[in-house]
Structure 1
């Protein structure tokens, strides 16, 4: 956990001082009525929330320090129910719908809220969060947490938040997902950057998922990420650890890398390649493939080229072969005959279903998909001319049925666009589209004669039924 910087401390201190000087607080302390606390909440929680959103946007690794700073009596418990809600949603959850690691941040926040003088006002806003936190935690942890609370009345309140539905995986899943939907539009994601080997081992997946969430959201400012990531990837304790590779890829592909930092990243990658060349190559290619197949993440030619900048091409391994090949695809074009020959040469050196080959197939499919998306319904001659050259070549190069089916899907989608616009079956456009499609799809094996006939068949309109 990174310490909260002095600027945010000063900002929160100013809010705390304003809370303590507020007439609403003075009135609440004198009369102890709920409406006065609600007035205090309405006045200051938006200010705390704005600061919370700002730090989550600009300095995400300090978010837990920010939230712990609010555990100060000067804040009168304001905004802590929201923070408690975030704390139960962030951690990694295993396949049984339990926290993979003990959720200490949730426990610390709940313990403070339980002892806060304004607990009666806060308790009406924390029930669901407590239920989720208890459902996803072990019984031993929950029991120990409740037993630490001095107040019998508060302990009884917390006991009532233990749900019978949490006894089953399905019940825990329902409790979690129902609560999570309330925060769909909120930016609360966080994972700590591992500082030691034990943390690296235990928090690696969560850390990677958090980084992917950040780099895939174009509205977020990630200027604060490179420095911690540089410290992470150059940490000598992590040398030789497989958990190092994926954050290294994300850093190199998505975030600004200074010239000096780039040399350091290349040095780290070279060290890892020398230590275990096959494992590192396989791991990077597998991760790239995951990114290409993840609809929530963008990994295109720009990210691939940027990642390739830290790959030392003097090292003779699959990574060098892969990035030399993708450099040519992206710069010279996937429709260049010499590039196609180079692809075939490399593909034949790999196992047919290797991640190396699948990555190249995905790259070509993206280009074909982009071509279809860029063409209008009057540009079908360009589509037929281009794909007429490309499809036979790449179907032969890859000799992969799944790849062929993807081409088929793209062709069907574009052709459906065409026949929705060019509907006159006696017109030249429709006849040209049908003639070329029937001929090429038969050659490609996309459809049988019967399927093609059905594809171009106009559905009959139902006759209106006579009213009785």
Structure 2
């Protein structure tokens, strides 16, 4: 956890002073009416949220400190429901949809809320968060928490949030996912960077979750560059978790200058000294390529530029080939030849060739999904390239994936060009019918079905 910077503390203190001096707070304290409290919420929570979003975007490691400051009683219970939701969702889960480790931050926020004079007002907005937090926690953890609470009414309320149906995995999963959707556009992820192997083991899931969120959301990573490099340079942390973080960093997080050199040194030392590193790396790369992480040829260029090219290992062989692909584009003959030569070096079912196929497929899918209907002539030309790579790979799943994406694009064309007598429609039909059959995408009857008009049944 990083300490909140002075610039943020000053903004926070300004908000706190404004709350304490507000007419809305005076009105609520005089009458203790819910309407007055809601007015205070409406006026001030948006300023807290603006500050929170700024910290989350630029300095996410400071979020824990910010949240601890926001439970100060001087904020009059504002923002508690969001803080509780963030704490519930931030925890790392296992396959059984249970927390990997006890969520002390969730407990800290919950206990502060319970002890707030506004608890009766706030509890109407936090029931679902507590229910999900309890569902993801162990029975022992909940029991120990409840034993710390003396107020019978509060304890009764919390006991009621233990929902029996969440004892069933499927119900617990669906409940979590429903709750998660409420925060899907909110950036609240943070983490601690481990300093020893014990912390790495217990905190790896949260760290991975944090990095993957930042990568997928195209966030700025500069505020924790130093923490990442110190972690990766710490040889006492070596192991599968270290490999995983390294594979994410070298593919998706850019470094420059001396920091780039530090990262390169870590990677090349492992390549040189660990005979099994290449094998583990390509297994991780394959997972990344088949996930929803934003792979692009830029990732390949980034890794290639980190390599010591004097080491002629599998990484050098792979990235030398895909760097040609990244530089010249998959249509260029040199790129096709580089891919072909690489592919013939390894068994078709090897992990490296699996990475190569998925990398190529990712690029094809990106192009197809961004091709407008008006550019259908480009699609016709692209099919020549598809055929070339299908011949190189000779892999059914690759062909099937291309087929699915091609059908999606053709359906997009037919949705736009509905005039069957029009030139566009006829050009598309004349191309698709024979081509889909030649590629083995569809049989004649199946491809003809794409062009049949579905008549609406007449109502009786």
Q: Does 1:285 align with 2:282?
A: yes
Which residue is equivalent to 1:458?
452
CA distance in 1, matches of 2:450, 2:31: 78
Which residue is equivalent to 1:320?
316
Which residue is equivalent to 1:233?
232
Superposition map of 1:141-290 within 5 A: 141-218=141-218, 220-238=219-237, 240-278=238-276, 280-290=277-287
Distance change in 2, residues 1:28/1:253 (3 Å): same
In structure 2, list runs of 5 or more residues that go unmatched. Answer: none
Aligned-pair CA distance for 1:327: 0.6
CA distance in 2, matches of 1:97, 1:367: 34
Q: Whose Rg is larger?
A: 1
CA distance in 2, matches of 1:449, 1:32: 75
Which residue is equivalent to 1:359?
355
Equivalent pair of 2:90/2:206 in contact (CA under 8 Å): no
Aligned-pair CA distance for 1:128: 2.3
Aligned-pair CA distance for 1:371: 5.2
Equivalent pair of 2:96/2:169 in contact (CA under 8 Å): yes
Per-residue CA deviations over 1:71-117 (Å, capped at 9, x if unaligned) read: 32322322223211211121112222211111110111112222233
Q: Does 1:309 align with 2:305?
A: yes
Distance change in 2, residues 1:368/1:151 (3 Å): closer
Q: Does 1:116 align with 2:116?
A: yes
CA distance in 2, matches of 1:351, 1:310: 26
Superposition map of 1:328-343 within 5 A: 328-343=324-339
Distance change in 2, residues 1:427/1:114 (3 Å): closer
Distance change in 2, residues 1:111/1:374 (3 Å): closer
Equivalent pair of 1:115/1:149 in contact (CA under 8 Å): no
In structure 1, list runs of 5 or more residues that go unmatched. Answer: none
Equivalent pair of 2:194/2:203 in contact (CA under 8 Å): yes
Per-residue CA deviations over 1:284-333 (Å, capped at 9, x if unaligned) read: 333333333334x3211122212322122221211111110001112234
Superposition map of 1:39-50 within 5 A: 39-50=39-50
Aligned-pair CA distance for 1:64: 1.3
Equivalent pair of 2:267/2:307 in contact (CA under 8 Å): yes
Q: Does 1:90 align with 2:85?
A: no
Which residue is equivalent to 2:105?
105
CA distance in 2, matches of 1:234, 1:398: 38
Aligned-pair CA distance for 1:37: 3.7
Distance change in 2, residues 1:20/1:434 (3 Å): closer
Superposition map of 1:7-46 within 5 A: 7-29=7-29, 31-46=31-46
CA distance in 1, matches of 2:92, 2:373: 46
CA distance in 2, matches of 1:2, 1:287: 30
CA distance in 2, matches of 1:249, 1:89: 25
Which residue, out of 341, 346, 351, partners 1:345?
341
Q: CA RMSD in A?
A: 3.1
CA distance in 2, matches of 1:128, 1:449: 54
Equivalent pair of 2:325/2:338 in contact (CA under 8 Å): no
Equivalent pair of 1:226/1:251 in contact (CA under 8 Å): no
Q: Does 1:401 align with 2:401?
A: no
SS at match of 1:124: helix
How many aligned positions are there?
A: 460
CA distance in 2, matches of 1:99, 1:456: 48
CA distance in 1, matches of 2:456, 2:77: 66
Aligned-pair CA distance for 1:427: 7.6
CA distance in 1, matches of 2:294, 2:88: 28
CA distance in 1, matches of 2:345, 2:352: 10
CA distance in 2, matches of 1:98, 1:145: 17
Which residue is equivalent to 2:443?
448
Per-residue CA deviations over 1:361-391 (Å, capped at 9, x if unaligned) read: 2333344445545666676665445533x34
Scaled by the length of structure 2, what TM-score is found?
A: 0.88
Scaled by the length of structure 1, what TM-score is found?
A: 0.86
Aligned-pair CA distance for 1:134: 1.5
CA distance in 1, matches of 2:391, 2:423: 32
CA distance in 2, matches of 1:420, 1:265: 49
Aligned-pair CA distance for 1:268: 0.5
Equivalent pair of 1:73/1:116 in contact (CA under 8 Å): yes
Equivalent pair of 1:91/1:191 in contact (CA under 8 Å): no
SS at match of 2:452: coil
